[in-house]
Structure 1
């Protein structure tokens, strides 16, 4: 456990929550489909109609039980994916997710999503991603920078408006065939000029084989795309060791590693995307007191706090910082440093990193 500091105790809970909300933040691990608002999800279910595939009462029950186990999370994910198979819905949820992060004072967001094919709706992987881009263009409460030159900030002409940098990661689902995974990597390369910066490996950790997706991940590396992997969500030493051998730019979760795997992770100094609420709600980690955040923090291992799925886990990035502060005794300086150091792990280019660093420097005098 991290040695507690007294500074946190000087805050009231209300003051601490507000301070965490005002803190500039960098989000590196959030899934588009898992961040749908509950209100939007219920509206989509209503519009979809009870047709034997999705039943409104069942979804309402799933919302009440969401996040209570890893299995139930993927059950609800299946509902999300059924409801997000047309271009207008993808556009809408993208717009709402970015606006929600902007309202939470997130200044940089890496949004990951799995491109979909849906012949019945005329959707291809490329048109799915175009709908995501259209959603970014539709954001109207904040200026969005997608590829460095600005996406909609020149239209507003209001220099007082907040700005959020958004970059995209294309996710390979672990259940995909090798050819499909390679198609996703090629699409990511084709869309580098519109904000795609990397590849994510995600999906149900109990299915699929590492060897199936490895050719696509190797191709991504050859093409200069950054890679992040969901790792250690279940115990699978063979796969965890293979992922460490691959040595990606970042790893997500890393919950269930053996001692020798922890040692290797630290020696490789791979930044870790930490998702406190997600790990506890899915019972991947039994309690916050046992969360590996404490050990990694004490070891000064590079990491960033993330949400995973704001809708699925009913959380925000501010809430993740609040939870870390209360659980591990972090004071203002520790939390500010934790947020600021996440800039080092973004997949965007150096010019974006410089801009983000400047934003933190501007905020430091006001917050510390």
Structure 2
């Protein structure tokens, strides 16, 4: 079994291109700025972890074991999503399987140990190839969020390759106002800040304004910004992390004709093309760039020159590695 194969929108776009076009995209320098570790573990690794977990807990008939069985089965069959809220239901099994430093080290190849296990694998690559953004989940308590930011700062100051912090998680959970002090602390310490924002049309306007007041360097998705927020974002030059397949599969965008990427392309605003979670979305960064190049309706039909410009934007919006 291959470690990862693509399907769906990205695969259709990629298969429509000529060998020369694919080679152009493959060799184009590009940055992946929005890829969640727990959503990017190869399926064979998760299957191995699940077998080990279920063997260890064979005498127990608990809810977590059942969540693991159901989650891995669904991922193995290929996920079909009808709305974004179904996406978040995929992760209890993955979180259970990567809840120890030992299993995390295998997947990525107390929290401080968790982050250090990831960094041990990240730092096997060059500075140009990989760095870590520490995520704060919207369901975290203020105390846990504070501890995560503290770990990120501590490790960065110790010379580890931590470059920023993020806010992510279930879009209907938590109160984003509770995170203000933590993101301001991260910015003051020199870490980059990126925030998942406006992922669903029901996102309250005051939540969007609250998040923008933290002066983030980048924004994840930003699918449903109102006109006032769009103007604020354009004036701030915050990079928009665009996840085309994710939006299409989670049904937050109907099709590429109405995708918000077109707004930012028209206004020459910084964007970065990203995968989000390659496991459930069955995509790749090459496939996402194929969606830029493929002729409509499979893609946006951008020229090589336009795609090169988008790729440069993404490269230019990377959070710098300050210590090595």
Compute the TM-score of the two structures, normalised by the length of structure 2.
Answer: 0.84
**Structure-2 residue corresponding to 1:241:** 209
Aligned partner of 2:122 among 119, 136, 158: 136
RMSD value over aligned CA atoms? 2.2
Query: Using the alignment, how far apart are the partners of 1:170 and 1:337 within structure 2?
Result: 28
Deviation digits for residues 254-285 of structure 1 (CA, Å, limit 9, x no counterpart): 00112222222212221111110111111111
Q: 1:19 to 1:175 in 2, by over 3 A?
A: same
Aligned partner of 1:313 among 281, 284, 297: 281
Deviation digits for residues 179-238 of structure 1 (CA, Å, limit 9, x no counterpart): 111111111111111100111111111000012111111111222211110001122211
Q: CA deviation at 1:343?
A: 2.1
Q: Please tell me whether the aligned partners of residues 273 and 304 of structure 1 are also in contact (alpha carbons under 8 angstroms).
A: yes
**Structure-2 residue corresponding to 1:152:** none
Q: Please tell me whether the aligned partners of residues 167 and 348 of structure 1 are also in contact (alpha carbons under 8 angstroms).
A: no
Aligned partner of 1:330 among 282, 285, 302: 302
**Structure-2 residue corresponding to 1:220:** 186
Aligned partner of 1:230 among 164, 177, 196: 196
Q: CA deviation at 1:246?
A: 1.9
Q: Secondary structure at the match of 1:255?
A: coil
**Structure-1 residue corresponding to 2:131:** 167
Deviation digits for residues 119-160 of structure 1 (CA, Å, limit 9, x no counterpart): xxxxx11111121123335x5xxxx124xxxxxxxxxxxxxx
Query: Using the alignment, how far apart are the partners of 2:271 and 2:250 within structure 1?
Result: 20
Q: Secondary structure at the match of 1:230?
A: strand
Aligned partner of 2:257 among 283, 289, 306: 289
1:88 aligns with 2:77: no
Q: Please tell me whether the aligned partners of residues 189 and 223 of structure 1 are also in contact (alpha carbons under 8 angstroms).
A: yes
Deviation digits for residues 8-41 of structure 1 (CA, Å, limit 9, x no counterpart): 9xx8444433332222221111110110112222
Q: 1:351 to 1:296 in 2, by over 3 A?
A: farther
- In terms of fraction of residues, the more strand-rich structure is 1
Query: Using the alignment, how far apart are the partners of 1:337 and 1:40 within structure 2?
Result: 36
Q: Matches of residues 1-368 of structure 1 in structure 2 within 5 Å?
A: 12-49=17-54, 51-52=61-62, 53-55=64-66, 56=69, 59-63=72-76, 64-95=78-109, 124-136=110-122, 144-146=125-127, 164-192=128-156, 193-234=159-200, 235-326=203-294, 327-349=299-321
Query: Using the alignment, how far apart are the partners of 2:17 and 2:289 within structure 1?
Result: 15
Q: CA deviation at 1:62?
A: 4.5
Query: Using the alignment, how far apart are the partners of 2:20 and 2:46 within structure 1?
Result: 31
Q: Please tell me whether the aligned partners of residues 324 and 330 of structure 1 are also in contact (alpha carbons under 8 angstroms).
A: yes
Query: Using the alignment, how far apart are the partners of 1:351 and 1:332 within structure 2?
Result: 35
**Structure-2 residue corresponding to 1:116:** none
Structure 2: state its 5+ residue gaps.
1-12
Aligned residues: 293
Q: Please tell me whether the aligned partners of residues 66 and 76 of structure 1 are also in contact (alpha carbons under 8 angstroms).
A: no
Compute the TM-score of the two structures, normalised by the length of structure 1.
Answer: 0.74
